[in-house]
Amino acid sequence: MEMNHVLQREHYLNSVLRAFAISLAVAVIGMSIGAFIPPVFFLPLILLEVGMLVFAFLLRRRKAISFTFLFSFTFISGMTTYPIVAYYASISGANVVLMTFTTTTLVFTGIAIIGWTTKRDLSFLGGMLMAALLALIVIGLFSLFWPLTSKAMLAYSFIGVLVFSGFVLYDFNRMKNYGVSKEEVPLMALNLYLDFVNLFISLLRFFGILSSDD
């Protein structure tokens, strides 16, 4: 019975990872299309993206999001991520963006392995990570009206790297210890996608600031 549970858990883990990989591919397609979108449309797209995130958050206990929702969200997310990537590519060079993507992939994979292989239950991190995420959001909103200094933004980006690395650790550890049901697959893939993209953006901002200060 225990062996069947382990096999089922690993089966749905593979489903989560597959959906996550497809989500990244869909986001890349969205990003390539974002290059042709007039700037005036980005704010409505960002508002739509935030609205979809709120919707997913409200339904998370019912595990009710679908693959259609997941891939629609990641497509829109790719489009809204394009201006950020384009900005840092223009000021720091495409090599910095490529280095950041490679670093993100390595960090994400390494932390995922740690989260999956550790024998500790890291569910206690959930509350702290959520509090840290809310603090990042508040500071981010604050910076829209009162821009942070270069050093403050560097610190903000570094904290973002730590927080989203923590979410990677937490999510993989949670999947290992509590399993993933068939209905949860799109939601867990969305969580991993958000972990990866936000880790990428935090690292891109961090490396971008460092390279511009040289």
Per the structure, the complete domain to which residue 176 belongs is given by 2-213
* CB contact at 8 A, 205 and 147: no
| CA–CA distance, 172 with 157 (Å, rounded to integer) | 23
In the predicted model, what is the mean pLDDT of the chain? Answer: 89
pLDDT(1) > 50 = no
pLDDT tens digits for 148-164? 888 999 999 999 999 99
Span 74-120, pLDDT tens digits: 999 999 999 999 999 998 889 999 999 999 999 999 999 999 999 99
Report the domain count for the chain. Answer: 1
Residue 171 vs residue 146, higher pLDDT: 171
- pLDDT bin (cut points 50, 70, 90) of residue 180 is confident
pLDDT band at 11 (very low <50, low <70, confident <90, very high): low
Q: Is 149 left (phi over 0), alpha (psi -120 to 50) or beta?
A: beta
- Mean pLDDT, rounded, for 205-214: 82
User: How much of the chain, in percent, has pLDDT values that exceed 90?
Assistant: 69
Q: Beta-carbon neighbour count of residue 171 at 10 Å?
A: 22
**What pLDDT is attached to residue 63?**
59
| Residue 31: closest CA among 208, 166, 197, 211 | 197
205 pLDDT higher than 90: yes
| CA atoms of 207 and 88, how far apart (whole Å) | 9
Question: Is the entire prediction scored with pTM above 0.75?
Answer: yes
pLDDT at 184: 87
